[in-house]
Amino acid sequence: MDYLAGLNPQQRAAVENTQGPAMIVAGAGSGKTRVITYRVAHLIEKGVDAFNILVLTFTNKASKDMRERISKVVGAEAKNLWMGTFHSVFAKILRVEAEKIGYPSNFTIYDTDDSKSLIRAILREMQLDDKLYNANFVYNRISSAKNNLVSHVEYMQSAEIQAEDVSNKRPMLGVIYETYTKRCFKAGAMDFDDLLFKTNVLLKNHPDVLNKYQHKFKYLMVDEYQDTNFSQYTIVKKLAAAYQNICVVGDDAQSIYGFRGANIQNILNFEKDYPDLKVYKLEQNYRSTQNIVEVANSIIANNKNQLEKNVFSENESGDRIKVSRAFTDNEEGKIVAEAIVQDRSTNGLDYHDFAILYRTNAQSRAMEEALRKLNVPYKIYGGLSFYQRKEIKDLIAYFRLTFNPSDEEAIKRVINYPRRGLGDTTVDKIIVAADQHDITMWEVIQEPQKYIAGRIANQLNDFAMLIKSFQAESKKLDAYETALYISQHSGILKELHTDDSIEGRSRYENIQELLNGIKEFAEREDIEDRSLAIFMQDIALLTNDDRENDKTQDTVSMMTIHSAKGLEFKNVFVVGLEENLFPSQMSLNSRTDLEEERRLFYVAITRAEKKLTLTYATSRYRWGTLTNCEPSRFISEINARYLELETVKAPKTSIGEDSFDGERRSWSQQRDSFSKPKPVSSGTTTTSAASPRPKNTMLPTAHIPTPGFAPNAANEFQNGMEVEHEKFGFGKIINLEGNLPDVKATVFFQGLGNKQLLLKFAKLRIVK
Fold adopted by 108-187: Arc Repressor Mutant, subunit A (1.10.10)
pLDDT at 108 over 90: yes
Q: Report pLDDT for 689.
A: 30
- The percentage of the chain sitting over the pLDDT mark of 70, rounded to a whole number, equals 90
More confident residue, 198 or 693: 198
Indicate the pLDDT class of residue 125, thresholds 50, 70 and 90. Answer: very high
Helix intervals (H) in 206-305: 207-216, 230-240, 265-268, 270-273, 290-300
Q: What is the pLDDT of residue 551?
A: 59
Q: What is the pLDDT of residue 396?
A: 95
pLDDT tens-digit profile of 282-335?
999 999 999 999 999 999 999 998 888 899 999 999 999 999 999 989 899 999
State the pLDDT at residue 710.
83
Predicted confidence at residue 605, as pLDDT, reads 97
Q: What residues are annotated to the active site?
A: 32-33, 223-224, 254, 607
CB 368 within 8 A of CB 556: no
Q: Are 658 and 338 in contact (CB under 8 A)?
A: no
User: 135-147 vs 230-240: helix axis angle to the nearest 10?
Assistant: 20
Question: Cα–Cα distance between 37 and 591 in angstroms, integer?
Answer: 36
- Give the 3-state secondary structure of residue 77: helix
Res 104: pLDDT: 93
The answer to whether the peptide bond before residue 741 is cis (omega within 30 degrees of 0) is yes
Q: Is-cis flag, bond preceding 583, omega within 30?
A: yes
Q: Which residues pair with 699 in a beta bridge?
A: none
Q: What is the pLDDT of residue 674?
A: 38
Contact present, 189 and 104 (Cβ < 8 Å): no
What is the bridge-based pairing of β-strands 321-326 and 608-617? parallel
pLDDT tens, position by position, 239-260? 999 999 999 999 999 999 988 8
Rounded average pLDDT over 475-492: 93
CATH superfamily of 388-542: PCRA; domain 4 (1.10.486.10)
Residues 170-179: what's their mean pLDDT? 96
Per-residue pLDDT, 362:
81
The answer to which of 179-188, 531-540, 665-674, 718-727 has the lowest mean pLDDT is: 665-674
What does the DSSP 8-state code read for residue 586? G
Which DSSP helix (H) or strand (E) runs through 188? Answer: none
pLDDT in tens, 499-516: 877 788 888 888 988 898
Specify the higher pLDDT residue, 681 or 131: 131
- Mean pLDDT within 127-153: 93
pLDDT of residue 29: 93
478: pLDDT strictly greater than 60: yes
Bridge partners (DSSP) of residue 32 are: none
Q: Which residues, listed in sequence order, are joined to residue 355 by a DSSP beta bridge?
A: 557, 572
pLDDT, residue 681, reads 32
Q: Is 729 annotated as a binding residue?
A: no
29 in a known ligand binding site: yes
Q: Would you say 170 and 177 are in contact if contact means Cβ atoms under 8 Å apart?
A: no
pLDDT digits (tens, 9 = 90+) for 221-237: 999 999 999 999 999 99
Q: How many CB atoms lie within 10 A of CB 431?
A: 18
Q: Are 35 and 24 in contact (CB under 8 A)?
A: yes
pLDDT of residue 587: 86
Q: With CA atoms as reference, report the closest residue to 577 among 659, 651, 638.
A: 638
Please give the model's pTM, rounded to 2 decimal places. Answer: 0.77
27 among the known binding-site residues? yes
**Count of other CB atoms within 10 angstroms of residue 649:** 12
Q: How far apart are CA 420 and CA 440, in angstroms?
A: 21
CA distance 755 to 730: 12
- The answer to the question of whether 385 is labelled as a binding residue is no
Q: What is residue 691's predicted lDDT score, i.e. its pLDDT? A: 31
CB within 8 Å of 726: residues ≥ 6 apart: 703, 705, 709, 763
15-19, 27-31, 403-407, 509-513: lowest mean pLDDT where? 509-513
pLDDT digits (tens, 9 = 90+) for 666-699: 333 343 443 333 333 333 333 333 333 333 333 3
Distance of alpha carbon 766 from the chain centroid = 39
The string of DSSP codes covering 506-530 is HHHHHHHHHHHHHHHHHT-SS-S--
Which CATH superfamily does the domain covering 312-383+554-645 fall into?
Answer: P-loop containing nucleotide triphosphate hydrolases (3.40.50.300)
Q: What distance in Å separates the CA atoms of residue 669 and residue 286, rounded to the nearest whole number?
A: 34
DSSP 15-61: HH--SS-EEEEE-TTS-HHHHHHHHHHHHHHTT--GGGEEEEES-HH
Arithmetic mean of pLDDT, 18-26: 94
Looking at the DSSP assignment, which residues form a beta bridge with residue 281?
25
Examine domains 9-100+198-282 and 312-383+554-645 and report if their fold is the same: yes
**Strand pairing partners for 557?**
355, 379
| 603-614: pLDDT as tens digits | 999 999 999 999
What per-residue confidence (pLDDT) applies to 83?
Answer: 93
Give buried/exposed letters for 246-280 (b at 16+ CB in 10 A, else e): bbbbbbbbbbbbbeebbbbebbeebeeebeebeeb
To the question of whether residue 41 is assigned a binding role by annotation, the answer is: no
pLDDT tens-place string over residues 612-650: 999 999 998 765 567 899 999 999 999 888 998 875 544
Fold of 9-100+198-282: Rossmann fold (3.40.50)
28 assigned ligand-binding residue: yes
User: What was the pLDDT predicted at 521?
Assistant: 84
Q: Above 70 in pLDDT, residue 751?
A: no
H or E stretch at 401: helix 390-403
The domain spans of the chain are 9-100+198-282, 108-187, 312-383+554-645, 388-542, 721-766
Burial annotation 299-325 (CB, 10 A radius, 16+ → b, else e): bbeebeebbebebebebeebbbbbbbb
- If pLDDT is split at 50, 70 and 90, which confidence band does 657 have? very low
**Tens-place pLDDT, residues 406-435:** 999 999 999 999 999 999 999 999 999 999
Quote the mean pLDDT of the chain.
86
Write the single-letter amino acid at 212.
K
In tens, the pLDDT along 336-357 reads 999 999 999 999 999 999 999 9
The predicted pLDDT at position 625 comes to 67
Rg (CA), the chain: 29
* pLDDT, average across residues 379-393: 82
- Averaged pLDDT, 755-764: 84
Nearest-CA neighbor of 42 among 50, 33, 54, 30? 50
- Alpha-carbon distance of 198 to 98, in angstroms, equals 9
Distance from C-alpha of 78 to C-alpha of 50, rounded to nearest angstrom = 7
CA atoms within 13 A on the CB side of 231: 25
